[in-house]
Chain A
Amino acid sequence: MLLVILEHENGQLVEAAREALTFGRVLAKKMGEDLEAAIIGSDDDDLVEAAGQYGAETVHTVTHDLLTDYGPDAFGSVIAQMVESLDPDAVLSCGSDRANEFMANAAARLDAPFVANCTDVNPGDTWAMTRIQWGGSLLEDATLTADVPLLTCGLHAVAAEIGDEEDAVAEEFDVDLDESFTITMVKDRVVQEAGVTLPTAAVVVGGGRGVGSEDGFGQLEELANLLGGRVGCSRAVTNLGWRPHADQVGQTGTRIAPEIYIASGISGAIQHWVGAMASKHILAINTDKEANMVTKADWAVIGDLHEVIPAIIAEVQSRKG
């Protein structure tokens, strides 16, 4: 049996969890095993039903007084207990920061290997997998010897697709948790901004070192506002203190997936590119027509962004009337 641990939020499976089930369906078939799922901290029927739609035959639900909020130790311990009593042949979760955290926590408890962010997995006596390195700039082929392989699949390694299994059977799973796990539980949660955030924006207007100054971002803000989008930036810009790190796109920043990414004054270093490559379309504005961002873009304007962007703003305003 392949066990897929599902991340959920506000009573819904997160997109990455749907991806993990889609990835898991293929893997379970290769293994010649059943696909089962686990939901930690909820036994909501809608979640069980959603897991069924994506191919899970049995869904193990876990509720407990100490599982009302997230904590890596509590989640890690639940998974370790499931490995011991459900005896899965492998355990899979998604490549979100949270899932990578609780899977590593479970692996440490079981003293077992854990392979993060796989894009392809092949079972066998020795397992073989391809996994993400350098945030997606490189791939690594690796082998794994483990009693029970613990894996996550990289974000967007597959697109979520509904399967043909209809009704999943829900089964309650009893866990044994002690108070010490509350040490690493969320104590408080603060919401800073509602509405369009960088990972969800349909338009991102990105600026790099070529913007030249903190004030130079005013024009980018104006264009982003006109288009209902958000401003993003490169690491060169955050390092210069022109923008907060929350705006940074890339390997150590945010991964964006807008309808269009307008990348201005950004050279397109590989660590920036991996954060932008899920964009559906890219338009580069750069003085250098050889810049990596330009050669990888769908469209480009060659020129000084401080002339091009105000002209785009004027044109948008005149068409909007």
Chain B
Amino acid sequence: MKILCCVKRVPAPGAKINVTADGQDVDAAHLGFTMSPHEECAVEGAVQLIEEHGGEVTVLTLGTGDAEEQLRYAVSVGATHGVLVEADTIQWDPQRTAQAITAAVQELEGDEPFDLIMFGNESADAGGFQVGIRIAMALGRPIVQGIKGVEIGDDTIIARREIDGGFEVYELPSPAVLGIKEGLNLPRYPTMKGRLASKKVELNSITASAAEGGQVRVKLHRPEETVSETVILGMGAEAAAAVVDVLDELGVL
């Protein structure tokens, strides 16, 4: 099988997210970078599928040169190829991002489509809930979102979507597209061999171009914080009676 995974580089903040002075971006000066947990699971899912059925996994990201870090990470956990779709910034609007990635996919595919393309359900930062859907529809392929289970059938892809208390099952003809959610699997850590492969792999680079869409960022800001006067009920086991008083008051005993 030929599988493509699209991942986006994002900072990994801790207790708080800070914004740069101009409000245009997350202040990542002291932060590491990662991809959305949804996308990590997509990459792991793709690697598991080729381990079982044979084939290759290509990982693609649209962004600046720094995003090579996420491509190499994906190779260190089993992806075969990495493609950087180079843009001046990673913060393109969703229509523009989708258009540029669609063009890149068409260039990579030629007349041999990927059997499966996997996206995250939503990107960790922008959370637009749409880039994968736009690309699938531009390519004329079926897509379902929120997927936490994937199996390969006879010429079909069986996908499970979690709903409250159970799941829905979809069956798509290949080539198909999925929006993956964290929980599909437990992503592995890079092995020594994987790390070496990721250092050696030659990344493919495509220059992105696409027209701007209708949505424009003005600025980012933090929501108002809930300030709480925390009442300390006690230290250690001796606080148990006070805790149960609280539960009693709330009527949950």
Contact = CB atoms under 8 A, between A and B. Distances in A.
B60 to A, nearest CB: 19
A176 to B, nearest CB: 18
Interface in A150-186: 183-186
B125 A299 contact: no
A248 B13 CA distance: 18
A193 B217 contact: no
B199 interface: no
B118 interface: no
B232 A302 contact: yes
B219 A141 contact: yes
Nearest to A296: B228
Contact of B129 (A116, A192, A252, A253): A116
A82 interface: no
Contacts of B179: 101
B32 interface: no
Given A113-B214, A312-B240, A186 B169 contact: yes
Interface in A228-268: 228-229, 235, 238-239, 241, 244-246, 248, 251-253, 259-260, 267-268
B90 interface: no
Interface of A: 70, 72-73, 97, 100-101, 104-105, 107-109, 112-117, 128, 132-146, 183-194, 197, 199-200, 202-203, 227-229, 235, 238-239, 241, 244-246, 248, 251-253, 259-260, 267-271, 277, 281, 283-284, 289, 292, 294-304, 307-308, 310-312, 314-316, 319-320
26 contacts: A72-B143, A72-B144, A113-B214, A114-B130, A115-B215, A116-B129, A128-B218, A136-B223, A138-B26, A138-B221, A140-B220, A145-B216, A192-B167, A203-B252, A238-B183, A245-B183, A260-B247, A271-B13, A281-B246, A297-B228, A299-B232, A301-B234, A303-B235, A315-B241, A315-B244, A316-B247
Given A72-B145, A144-B215, A311-B240, 12 more contacts: A108-B130, A115-B215, A136-B223, A137-B222, A141-B221, A197-B164, A203-B252, A238-B183, A244-B183, A246-B183, A271-B13, A289-B232
